[in-house]
Amino acid sequence: MDTYLLRRAIDYYHTRAQETNDPYYWFFLADAQVRAGLINQARQSVDKALWFPNPFPLRQRLLEMKAKLNSDLTRENNPNSPSIVAAKRGDIDGDGIIDHVFLTAYKTPDSPFLKNITLSIQNGKTNHLQQIAFNNNAGYNPTLFLGDFTGNKVDDILVVIDTGGSGGAIYSYIFSNINGQMRQIFNSDTFNENSNYSVTYQDQYKAFVINQKLGEKYVLDLTYKGKNYLNDIYNENGDLKAPIEGWVNPLSGLYPVDFNRDGTYELESYQRIAGRYNADSLGYVLNVLKWNGQVFSTERRNIIIFGGEF
């Protein structure tokens, strides 16, 4: 929208908001003011909309909008201050009152790379703010998910951050309120340390993926990779031309899934299996992890591969 039309929209919604005092118009006035870069005025309009018992749109949307405006205003006044990059609301401590959860980070000029990513939890009852730092606190596209992973009917916090590495690796953490204290109950570093696989190509168009810790072996049929791929590494009789070893990448996907539809989420994890080089993907190691009261343990493990031409 050009400047003239934006100015007219602001004038229109401001007039209607003053005449009707309707949260509908206060919201759209704030939206137009945001697009015009009028951060202070937009924040005041959001406050007007929040004043109503049943604001428009949902109160959560307005609170998230206000948090973003506060972050923008702080950054405008102090370019070196962190920004809110993700926000959610949920009952984190089980007191029945909604708490505010958000991630802050320092943005990098002309880049989506974020530094000093920090988890912040604002208690909905006391407004007390708790901040939690991560071991790996830089990356891309940090996301938040709130849901019950432990079965206590209280929201836990899942944080996932893209590392930006060639293998698509992620940093991930889960925090839960245990006995009144926020505790880290999952982190990707520990998961990766306990994930020890070997990948070796075999004669007759096969590859073995072996979990060294558990002694589990999976056999991949490589014929789906196609003739050109196979001809590069196998002789006509199906023997390898030379030994080839691949590897299993660190955690590259972690997703909450309520498999049992009981309100308690399990974790579905993905690790890419690399062949001759990282882009030579052979499939994924897929784990379903479930909280057992102390740690997330593997409930089942599978290898999934890509389909080939029929």
CATH number at residue 151: 2.40.128
Domain shared by 180 and 203, yes or no: no
| Chunked mean pLDDT (size 10), the chain, 310 residues | 71 88 91 82 90 88 85 64 89 94 88 91 91 92 96 96 85 95 95 93 97 91 92 96 96 96 97 93 95 94 79
Dist. CA 107–CA 105, nearest whole Å: 6
Interhelix angle 3-20/23-35, nearest 10 degrees = 160
Check residue 309 and give its pLDDT.
62
Within this chain, do residues 61 and 116 fall inside the same structural domain, yes or no?
Answer: no
Q: Are residues 279 and 205 in the same domain?
A: yes
Residue 146, Cα to own-chain centre: how many angstroms? 11
Residue 153 region, left (φ>0) first, then alpha (ψ -120 to 50), else beta? left
- Whether residues 300 and 216 share a domain: the answer is yes
Indicate whether 200 and 186 sit together in one domain: no
pLDDT of residue 78: 58
Does some domain include residue 309? no
Number of domains in the chain: 3
Please check whether residue 82 is in contact with residue 118, taking contact to mean a CB–CB distance below 8 angstroms.
yes
Spatial separation of the C-alpha atoms in residues 48 and 51, rounded to whole Å? 5
Identify the residue whose tokens are 């836990």.
Answer: 156
- Same domain? 221 vs 251: yes
Phi and psi, residue 215, nearest 5°? 70, 25
> Is the domain of 63 the same as that of 108?
no
Residue 111 in domain: yes
pTM of the model: 0.74
Together in a domain, 113 and 160: yes
Residues facing 206 on adjacent strands: 202, 221
Q: In this structure, are 54 and 113 located in the same domain?
A: no
Is 310 contained in some domain?
no
The helix (H) or strand (E) run that includes residue 291 is: strand 281-291
Cα 181 to chain centroid, rounded: 23
For residues 146 and 102, state if they share a domain: yes
The whole-number pLDDT of residue 4 equals 63
Closest CA to 215 of 193, 196, 202: 196
The pLDDT of residue 2 is 56
pLDDT at res. 232: 96
Q: Which residue, 11, 77, 32, 23, is CA-closest to 50?
A: 23
Last residue of a domain, one of 160, 193, 226: 193
Dmax over CA atoms of the chain, in Å, equals 85
Answer whether residue 250 is part of any domain. Answer: yes
Number of residues assigned to the chain: 310
Strand-pairing partners, residue 198, are: 210
164 and 204 inside one domain: no
Tell me what pLDDT residue 308 has.
Answer: 62
Q: What was the pLDDT predicted at 110? A: 77
- Do both 2 and 61 map to the same domain? yes
Q: Which domain holds residue 58?
A: 1-80
